[in-house]
Amino acid sequence: MINLLILLLMSGKNFFVCRYEKMGWNYEGVKPKQGIRINSMNAKRDDDVTKRLQSLGIKLEKIPFLQNGYWIRRSEFSVGATSEYLLGLYSIQKAAAQIPATLFTKLSDKFVLDACAAPGGKTVQLANLMQNMGVIVALDIKRRRLIALSNHLERCRVENTIVYQMDARKASGLRMKFDRILLDVPCSGNFVIDEGWFKKRTLEDVERNAKLQREILMEAAKVLKDDGEIVYATCSLEPEENELNIDWAIKALNLKVKKINCYGEKGLTNISGMQLDNSIEFCRRIWPGQTQGFFICKLVKRACTR
């Protein structure tokens, strides 16, 4: 009975909206614009693709903080049903989701792990940034999602990727060490991408996801080379899955937060009176508005000095 009461108190729209206010953001209903990313590997120039889409009656707007990203201002039909899409000239990808892959330094010849890869938007983006060179190892746990990932790779002409059906928490079973690791971890999501979010989510869910994310972070730290980079991303607004997890990773996994220069606000260093590591302000928290909600952090592994 007490558990049920706690559950009721720690869920529902009022509970979460109140939390966001305490974190400095006033709730507002948001309908984010659909985004696309031009696959520069397949399109000779962005202009060629945008002109072709505009000739079909699709109105585009350049996303100011992304190199190859465009918002769909207006389209009479699904942008997933054009020749240009089927030929791999662009991918449908939300604006905020286009940020994480761009935060790695020097990707082209690197050995990269995409630990929670399906449905593959960010894997294709990594392959683009790498110009199909180097190697990407892409993991996902569910076979159905791997089929979507494989179709995405084939459509977008990715050549440098191996896909395994594997739980990211078992990545050390690959017996490989990586220069770069993308952790687009499973998360609680947010109310912008899921209309029924407030009704179905509780703090218990959030904490369960945060635990899973820490397990993935721990495994990633094991398979990361010294001086390697991890980019950690969630589409959750909850601090347990974001700043608190990063604070834990700094202390428990010998990882260090690197300053990033991208769209978003500073990460929160004080959550409900709990003071976190100051470097967490280098993370980026994106409150819903122009894009959906998102959290991004770049971590580096401190090389052993012994």
Among 17, 30, 157, 169, binds other proteins (CB under 8 A): 157
Q: Specify the residue, 104 or 191, whose C-beta has the smaller distance to other proteins.
A: 104
* 236 in Cβ contact with 203 (< 8 Å): no
List 233's β-bridge partners, or say none.
Answer: 184, 296
Instruction: Kindly give the interhelix angle for 203-223 and 243-252, rounded to the nearest 10 degrees.
Output: 40
| Residue 49 or 183 with smaller CB distance to other proteins | 49
Q: Judged by CB under 8 A, which of 103, 163, 168, 216 binds other proteins? A: 163
181: nearest Cα among 99, 283, 301: 301
**β 178-184/111-114 pair status:** parallel
What distance in Å separates the CA atoms of residue 122 and residue 96, rounded to the nearest whole number?
11
CB of 87 to other proteins, least distance (A): 5
Among 9, 86, 193, 303, binds other proteins (CB under 8 A): 86
Q: Name the token pair of 284.
A: 């980026």
CA angle 121, 124, 127 (to 5 degrees): 150
By CB under 8 A, which span of 61-69, 158-166, 191-199, 278-286 interacts with other proteins?
A: 158-166
User: Which residue among 116, 156, 187, 235 is the active-site one?
Assistant: 235
Residue 165 contacts other proteins per CB under 8 A? yes
Among 36, 112, 116, 146, binds other proteins (CB under 8 A): 146
Phi-psi region of 224 (alpha: psi -120 to 50; beta: other; left: phi over 0): beta
- Minimum Å gap between C-beta 3 and other proteins is 41
Q: Phi and psi of 137, rounded to 5°?
A: -105, 120
Least distance from other proteins to the Cβ atom of residue 285, Å:
33
What is the pattern of x (binds other proteins, CB under 8 A) and - over residues 120-139? --------------xx-x--
Contacts 24+ apart (CB under 8 A), 286-289: 286/96, 287/20, 287/25, 287/237, 288/28, 288/30, 288/32, 288/190, 288/191, 288/192, 288/237, 289/28, 289/30
The closest alpha carbon to 182, from 245, 239, 117, 244, belongs to 117
* Closest separation in Å from C-beta 146 to other proteins: 5
Which of 24, 57, 64, 80 binds other proteins (CB under 8 A)? It is: 80
155 binds other proteins (CB under 8 A): yes
Q: Which positions from 221 to 250 touch other proteins by CB under 8 A, shown as an x/- string?
A: ------------------------------
Catalytic residue flag (residue 235)? yes
Distance CA 174, CA 32 (A): 38
Give the interface segment with other proteins, choosing from 91-99, 141-149, 188-196, 209-217 (CB under 8 A).
141-149
Piece of 12-20, 150-158, 201-209, 296-304 that binds other proteins (CB under 8 A): 150-158
Q: Answer for the pair 142, 121: CB distance below 8 angstroms, yes or no.
A: no
User: Could you give the residue numbers annotated as active site?
Assistant: 235
Residues found near other proteins in the complex (CB under 8 A): 52, 80-81, 83, 86-87, 134-135, 137, 146-151, 153-155, 157, 159-165, 176
